[in-house]
Amino acid sequence: MRAKPLATIVSAGVSKFGRREGLYARELFTEAALEAFHRLENVDPGKDIKAAFIGQMSEAYEHQSHTAPIAANWAGLLPAAATRVEDACASSGAALRCGIMAIMSGFYDIVMVGGVEKMTNQPTPEVTTILASAADFPFEQWNGMTFPGLFALMATSHMHEYGTTEEQLAKVAVKNHKHGVLNPKAHMQREITLDEVMKSRPVCWPLKLYDCSLITDGASCLILTKPKLAKKLTDNRVQIIGTGQAQDTFLLHERDSFTSVKAAKSAAQEAYKMSDMKPKDINVAEVHDCFTIAEIIAYEDLGFCRPGQGGKFVESGTTALGGSLPVNTSGGLKSKGHPVGATGTAQIYELYLQLTGQAERRQVPDAKIGLAHNLGGSGATAVVHILRSD
DSSP 236: -
DSSP 18: B
> What would the DSSP string read from start to end of 85-105?
E-BTBTHHHHHHHHHHHHHHT
Q: Whole-angstrom Cα distance, residue 343 to residue 17?
A: 11
Q: Which of 211, 186, 39, 205 is nearest to 112 (CA)?
A: 39
**Catalytic residue from among 89, 98, 290, 305:** 89
Q: Are 221 and 116 in contact (CB under 8 A)?
A: no
Tell me the angle at which helices 124-132 and 147-162 cross, rounded to the nearest 10 degrees: 70
Hey, how many other C-beta atoms are within 10 angstroms of the C-beta on 125?
Answer: 9
* E strand or H helix that includes residue 323: none
Q: Whole-angstrom Cα distance, residue 276 to residue 304?
A: 16
290 is catalytic: no
Using only C-alpha atoms, the chain has a radius of gyration, in whole angstroms, of 19
204 is catalytic: no
**Catalytic residue from among 187, 288, 338, 385:** 338
Q: In the chain, which residue ranges form alpha helices assigned H by DSSP?
A: 25-39, 45-48, 67-74, 91-104, 124-132, 147-162, 166-180, 194-199, 227-233, 262-275, 292-301, 310-315, 332-335, 343-355
DSSP 254: G
Active site residues: 89, 338
